[in-house]
Amino acid sequence: MKIYLSGKLVDESDAKVSVFDHGLLYGDGVFEGIRAYHGKVFLLDEHVDRLYDSAKAIALEIPMTRAEMAQAVVETCAANNMTSGYIRLVVTRGVGTLGLNPYLCKKPEIIIIAAAIQLYPPELYETGMRVVTVGTVRNHPEAVNPRIKSLNYLNNVMAKIEAINAGVMECIMLNPQGLVAEASGDNVFVLKNGVLKTPPVWCGALDGITRRAVMRIAEDAGIPVREEPMQRYDLFTADEMFLTGTAAEVIAVTNVDRRTIGDGTPGATTLDLQSRFKEYVKHHGTPIPAS
């Protein structure tokens, strides 16, 4: 496997960063998870834009243009003969001192990995999944804003631990006001009386790229879409519920905190959006050049 490491493609065994990198020491950096489908990098420009927005929010200056970053992504995919798979794009603060001062880190580290990923077992896409609400509260927006896709993912990891300990693969996180924010790694959608709803980003949700795509797909299909605050009650009483994410794509939720959603099987609208999403990814991406 070839890894992009600050301007060069190197063998996996040679892809090393310093123990003084603040990405390692403090989780100081940003990242993107991106999918490739059918020889194209899905919505690459949207991912790159979000990466640069996240970097700006933490005062991290990326030492290459957005166009150069996008080109590095497709070249890394080509070097690994990837046509479908998962891309992890990482920008760390770089090497610094053992203190917190980020301005002593002179050069950010840029890492691009193109590999495979499978988040959930395939059968869950047919049967739906169970989730629980966890006690780990989503970060307050003025602490670490969830819209920043930062390397500091401990908030999500703590929630994931609770989910696994409860015997499920995903969970619902609430914000400090008790409103639904998102899952530990996915966005949340419910369908009620024909209207598709998802928590607004100010409630603590990441502005997910797949979330945006599904909202566009639903609107094009004539399904009303609203961003509005939700309580757990809105999940319990939903006609349908599903999660979206780069790795998860679109996956139904059929049970929340031992409350059956709908009739306990993936709903017709969810299955339709799954199908439409699979078709959508075929036509929206940046081509990967032949290696």
- CATH of the structural domain 124-280, one choice from 3.20.20.100, 3.20.10.10, 3.30.70.270, 3.40.50.300: 3.20.10.10
Query: DSSP labels for the chain?
Result: -EEEETTEEEEGGG----TTBHHHHH--EEEEEEEEETTEEETHHHHHHHHHHHHHHTT---SS-HHHHHHHHHHHHHHTT-SSEEEEEEEE--B--SSS-GGG--S-EEEEEEE----S-TTHHHH-EEEEE-SSPPPPTTTS-TTS-BS--HHHHHHHHHHHHTT-SEEEEE-TTS-EEEESSSEEEEEETTEEEE--GGGT----HHHHHHHHHHHHTT--EEE----HHHHHT-SEEEEEETTTEEEEEEEETTEEPTTSS--HHHHHHHHHHHHHTTTSEEEPPP-
Note the pLDDT of residue 153: 95
Q: Among 117-131, 186-200, 219-233, where is mean pLDDT lowest?
A: 117-131
Residue 116 pLDDT > 80:
yes
Classify the C-alpha dihedral 66-55-227-272 as positive or negative. positive
Convert the pLDDT of each residue in 44-78 to its tens digit: 999 999 999 999 999 999 999 999 999 999 999 99
Note the pLDDT of residue 6: 87
Per-residue pLDDT band at 290 (split at 50, 70, 90): confident
Using alpha carbons, select from 57, 39, 36 the residue that is nearest to residue 47: 36
Residue 277 identity: F
Note the pLDDT of residue 129: 97
Convert the pLDDT of each residue in 180-194 to its tens digit: 999 999 999 999 999
The CATH number assigned to the domain with range 2-115 reads 3.30.470.10
Catalytic residues: 149
Convert the pLDDT of each residue in 260-278 to its tens digit: 999 999 999 999 999 999 9
Average pLDDT, the chain: 97
CA distance 244 to 274: 10
- The DSSP bridge partners found for residue 91 are 30, 110
Note the pLDDT of residue 117: 84
Domain ranges of the chain: 2-115, 124-280
How large a percentage of the chain has pLDDT more than 90? 97
Note the pLDDT of residue 291: 66
Per-residue pLDDT band at 101 (split at 50, 70, 90): very high
CA distance 2 to 11: 5
